[in-house]
Amino acid sequence: MIWIFLAVSMVFYGQNSKESNPYFKLVRPAFDGTLAYNTTEFVAQYWRVPGNTGFNKSVDWIATELKKAGYVLESEAKSADRLTYRIESRPMDRPTWEPVSAQLDIFGESTPLLVSSKNRNMTYLNSVSTPKGGITAEVIYIKPEDDLPSMDLKDKVVFMESGIRSIYKQLLENDVLGVLSYDNPDYLQPEKNVTSIQFRSLPSQTDTKFWGVALSFEAKERLREALKKGRTKVTVNIQTKIYNADELTVVANIKGSKNPQERLVFSAHIQEPGANDNASGVGTQLEMATVVAGLVKKNKVEADRTLTFLWGDEISSTHRYIQEDKDRARGIKWGISLDMVGENTDITGGSFLIEKMPDPSAIWTRGQDKHTEWGGKVLSLEDMRPHYFNDFIIHNFKKQGEYANWEVNTNPFEGGSDHTPFLKADIPGLLLWHFTDQFYHTDNDRIDKVSQETLKNVGTAALASGLYLVNANTDTAQNVLDIVEKAALERLESEFELSIKSVHPAEEKPILAAWEDWYLKALQSITDLEPVPTEELQHRIKVAQQKVKEKTQNYLAELDAR
């Protein structure tokens, strides 16, 4: 009855654009971004890796808010309780780590080069502590191509303007005390953001006493000037904690009323020290979980399939969730990763992005498609993942963009976040994020770079999309078919327009053929939305597929004629 009422009650939003997703009407008034922002601010104060204080306090915050919203601890839940959560705990195979304090001085100068109270990313992850009073040692400038065994580096501090991964073992073998490095990519605009430090890491230091300090552009320039004057020493005082701990993961569920074994999984990783990356994902997902709980409890909305919210360690927690229970994994129909979703783009740059499942734009990236500065390798036809999920999510987020005057863009598949475990398990998976961000992975990724309005827009569109999917039925399938058919014909037209501008148009035919194949299969995947696919839907899919075939054939014939 709720579904019928909502379907009849669809209204116009934005600029005379008819809303096809009725759940926007319920979610928008309930999602104001306050909990998302407050959570982001709380989580962002900590340097977070699995098992450490900040990570665990973030878990406690999530659990407290879930309980307030009506979620019951799974071990205490009754059979009638649909809103449940649990905190999974696993021993870690290596110690956790957290920074305490750090200071770097050029010996003889009164002003510190770096201090952790201002540059919280200066200490390499997994660095050990120096002696309490610090150490003073000579600095030796090295380049990656230097013959390190021939150099006297014992009990020295090395300084290099590149990553250390390729020579890390050589540094240990040469009894180097520690490393000072500068390696900020251009998209961070280091000459503008002179104090930014992008966090760096070492392998777990279980058998060594090595440490590293990452430099800002400003600190790097000061150190270079000192070295020009001759022999230079630095004093380094690093205090960290390294200890055994358990890794925690939070899993909250709203059990489906009709098909509880089928589910949509939202995933947001807790670890990393930034506000946008990824305290914003943690906060947005938490408000999503509380908003939908309130709607369910008030009988304003139903969830036919299960909604799952997962908070943990990036990639590994999602991977475990899929791999540890094969029966559960078979029921995961969709996965959505929330990563860097709260940006104030007037400050950070870039825009909100939906990273698509692999489609031909990840092979032939052209026209309006473009990779981010994160970058992605060129895929092959064997890597394609044809599915309606891309265009459905894009359509919903564009609708929220129209409503809120909010910019929504896409990028071809690149990987690197919680959507990848879904895809590897052959589960439709997408990433919601922002890029380029001039403060990405730096200690300037603080709460002042977060927009509550962005948190609200992302959370609203994600939750409305999720509710539409977990309640999918024949009407849903018909609507998604319209969305995908329209997207297919528009894509073929745009690719054809690009092809005819080519010097050799006939050589463009494989691109059109690839898009045709992708959309024929994406259209067929829509049967997944109906519990029992109807003959009517099958017929409509075949009609849409025929339109795609005819359009492609016409375009290919015209390319041949040129």
Q: How far, in Å, CA of 556 to CA of 562, rounded? A: 10
- The Cα–Cα gap between 85 and 115 comes to 40
Using the predicted structure, report yes or no on whether residue 9 has a pLDDT greater than 50: no
| pTM (predicted TM-score) | 0.95
- pLDDT at position 375 is 87
Query: What is the structure's pLDDT at 425?
Result: 98
410-434 confidence digits (pLDDT tens): 999 999 999 999 999 999 999 999 9
Supply the angle between the helices 474-500 and 509-524 in degrees, to the nearest 10: 180
Average pLDDT (40-55) is: 98
- Amino acid of residue 456: K
Distance (Å, rounded) from C-alpha 254 to C-alpha 303? 8
- Look up residue 472 and give its amino acid: A
Output the pLDDT for position 19. 63
Tokens found for residue 132: 């309490």
Q: What is the mean pLDDT of the chain?
A: 95
Q: DSSP letter for 439, please.
A: T
Phi (first) and psi of residue 395, to 5 degrees: -60, -45
Going by C-alpha positions, the residue among 299, 217, 275 that lies closest to residue 2 is: 299
Residue 20, pLDDT score: 77
Q: Helix, strand or coil for residue 150? A: helix
Which residues face 238 on adjacent strands? 102
Question: In the Cβ-directed half-sphere of 224, how many Cα atoms lie within 13 Å?
Answer: 11
Contact indicator for 317, 337 with CB cutoff of 8 Å? no
Q: Which two tokens stand for residue 307?
A: 């909604």
Q: pLDDT band at 533, cuts 50/70/90?
A: confident
Write the DSSP symbol of residue 381. G
CA–CA distance, 357 with 542 (Å, rounded to integer): 23
Question: Do 240 and 131 meet the contact criterion of CB atoms below 8 Å apart?
Answer: no
Mean pLDDT of 534-543: 96
Is the per-residue pLDDT at 7 higher than 90?
no
Above 70 in pLDDT, residue 4? no
At 468, list the tokens. Answer: 């539409």
Under 8 Å between Cβ of 292 and 467: yes
Lowest mean pLDDT among 30-34, 73-77, 140-144, 529-533: 529-533
C-alpha distances in Å from residue 241, one per residue of 98, 136, 205, 248, 250: 5, 21, 12, 18, 24
Residue 561: pLDDT band with limits 50, 70, 90: confident
How far apart, in whole angstroms, are the C-alpha atoms of residue 323 and residue 307? 18
Place of tokens 């375009």: 555
DSSP H/E element including 540: helix 535-561
Q: What is the pLDDT of residue 144?
A: 85
Q: In which element (H, E) is residue 466 found?
A: helix 452-470
| H helix or E strand, kind and range, residue 243 | strand 233-243
pLDDT for the residue 531: 78
pLDDT bracket for residue 322 (50, 70, 90): very high
Residues 92-138: pLDDT tens digits?
Answer: 999 999 999 999 999 999 999 999 999 999 999 999 999 999 999 99
Average pLDDT on 458-468 reads 98
Q: Per-residue pLDDT for 204 more than 90? A: yes
Q: Is the pLDDT of residue 190 over 60?
A: yes
- Map tokens 């305490």 to a residue: 100
Q: How confident is the model at residue 18 (pLDDT cuts 50, 70, 90)?
A: low
Neighbour count for residue 231 (Cβ, 10 Å): 9
Mean pLDDT for the stretch of residues 276-301: 98
- The mean pLDDT of 292-300, rounded to a whole number, is 97
Residue 309 DSSP code: E
Q: How many CB atoms lie within 10 A of CB 327?
A: 7
DSSP 8-state secondary structure symbol assigned to residue 258: S
CA separation for the pair 353, 89 (Å, rounded): 33
pLDDT reported for residue 504: 86
Predicted confidence band at 46 (pLDDT cuts at 50, 70, 90)? very high
| The pLDDT of residue 556 is above 90 | yes
